Structure 1
Amino acid sequence: IDDLTTKEILEPYRMFTSRAEYRLLLRQDNADLRLREYGYELGLIDKEKYQKVKEKKKIIKSEVTRLSKIHKTIDGRGFSLKKLLSRVENSYEKLLKNYPKDFFDYKKEINDQIELEIKYEGYINRQKKDVQKLKDLEKIKVPKNFNFEKVIGLRYEAIEKLMKFTPQNLEIASKINGVSFADISILMISLQNKKSFIN
């Protein structure tokens, strides 16, 4: 929806997964972990299925923590099992065979989820920070009669686009084509003294 309201679409809009923001957080494999709670609250999921996904979440979280606390020495160097699993050449299945006393064999979907959480942890955390930044920007509202032309330092292209789309907040403004992060920073400062920029 944001694409349709904040970008100039010059041809039929095609829905692709590649258009999704924060694809690492919105993966197919973690859909049940993200959405089943909402399904349960809306009465679409029974209690048994909801309890199963809660248990799955608990296992994944506790395993990631547990593997970070178990250390092995390889070629004279100490590594946590979590660090070993994060390496490209290793998989949960491989380490399960190499360290059967330390790795537990859950269902494949849980084993895979533990591996993905560990391998992509850095990227996932970065995306979570980006999401939080956008949430913070969403809280900064732009008055309806705000005069973008009065803001010193805003590029002409940004002024044109902001006047055309009249975003309700800075989060929406940040998604408009032609509006840079520098423009958003300038707007943020200007909105602290917004009375000076209202017609």
Structure 2
Amino acid sequence: AGQINGTSGYEEAAAQGLIAGLNASLKLRGLPPLILRRDQAYIGVLIDDLVTKGTDEPYRMMTSRAEFRLLLRQDNADVRLTEIGRECGLVSDERWERYLERKKMRGEVLKTLAERADNKQAAALLEAHGEHFTNGVTYADLLRRNIPIAEIKHEFDLFEGVPNDILLSAETEVRYEGYLKTSEREREKAKKMEEKPLPPDIDYANIDGLRLEAREKLARIRPLNLGQAERISGVNPADIAVLMVYLTLKEHK
């Protein structure tokens, strides 16, 4: 499947095989197909690139291809995809219970990090790291001052029984909070475009204002929504504006 679609025959092909098999199963059950968005998984980036951009050489998945790569981290893969997998029937009861337990732990860790640390202990820890003490500092503030979560755990006797990978995931969330919020805002903008579907029978040749190249590309690729359409090479912002006007007029007819 990977080589037919223009990718390598390694992980990229395996990812496509997984989605193809899953969607075949969903179709047999009379359910809609699973289409992962670019902000949900690298599989979503890969498939969207193949559909909207095509490829002249074997496609390899690289983090640089994903505009939301800060959200597509290894440490939050379970948070991003387990619930989707459960809805599709890919996640067993045992794995689901384990996920819920880990999700609860992660939430409790983040809640604790937002609490105030003991002033005396915090002052000593910051001084040891050459940092200035501020009254009322939280555990999250200590993380942002480049104090590792493992050290905070040890000094304040916190997070007993919590696996290290959950602690490191929470640490990442806190340290990069500003960047992650920016990515979240960009994701919301993209989702709004993804939520504007394009009719499957739309006749691009009869839409006034579309450039010839855009008409040809849109007619050949047939994007599912405006978000996918704006990622097609040869379709510019003016073409997207024309499509938005077309959809608005169609809604009011």
**TM-score, length-scaled by structure 1:** 0.73
Q: What is the CA distance between 1:3 and its match in structure 2?
A: 1.4
Does the CA-based 8 Å contact 1:29-1:113 persist in structure 2?
yes
Give the alignment partner of residue 169 of structure 1, picking from 213, 218, 225: 225
Q: Which amino acid aligns with 2:108?
A: S
Alignment pair present for 1:95 and 2:142: no
Measured on the aligned residues, the alpha-carbon RMSD in Å equals 3.2
Counterpart residue number, 1:139: 195
Q: Count how many residue pairs are aligned between Structure 1 and Structure 2.
A: 189
Q: CA deviation at 1:14?
A: 2.5
Give 3-state SS (helix, strand or coil) of 2:74's partner: coil
User: Are the structure 2 counterparts of residues 107 and 12 from structure 1 closer, same or farther at C-alpha, using a change threshold of 3 Å?
Assistant: closer
Would you say the 8 A contact 1:7–1:177 is kept in 2? yes
In structure 2, the residue corresponding to 1:141 is in which secondary structure? Answer: coil
Cross-structure match for 2:143: 85
Moved more, 105-114 or 161-170: 161-170
Q: Which has the higher contact order (CA 8 A, sep 6+)?
A: 1
Matched, 1:35 2:81: yes
Please tell me whether residue 60 in structure 1 is matched to residue 109 in structure 2: no
Q: Does the 8 Å contact 2:113/2:140 carry over to 1? A: yes
State the identity %: 38
* Cα distance in 1 for residues equivalent to 2:153 and 2:97: 27
The alpha-carbon distance between structure 1 residues 161 and 57, as it changes in their structure 2 partners (threshold 3 A), is same
Give the distance between the partners of 1:12 and 1:156, measured in 2 at CA. Answer: 29
1:46 to 86, 93, 102: 93
Assess if the C-alpha contact under 8 Å between 1:39 and 1:45 holds in 2. Answer: no
Give the match's secondary structure for 1:150. coil
Distance 1:159 1:146, change over 3 A: closer
Unaligned runs of 5+ in 2: 1-46, 124-131
| Deviations 1:116-161, CA, capped at 9 Å, x for gaps | 121222333333333333332123233411447622xx67765564
Q: Is the 1:148–1:159 contact (alpha carbons within 8 Å) kept by the matching residues of 2?
A: no
Residue 92 of structure 1 and its aligned partner are, at CA, apart by: 0.5
CA contact (8 A) 2:71 2:180 kept: yes
| In 2, Cα distance between equivalents of 1:59 and 1:182 | 47
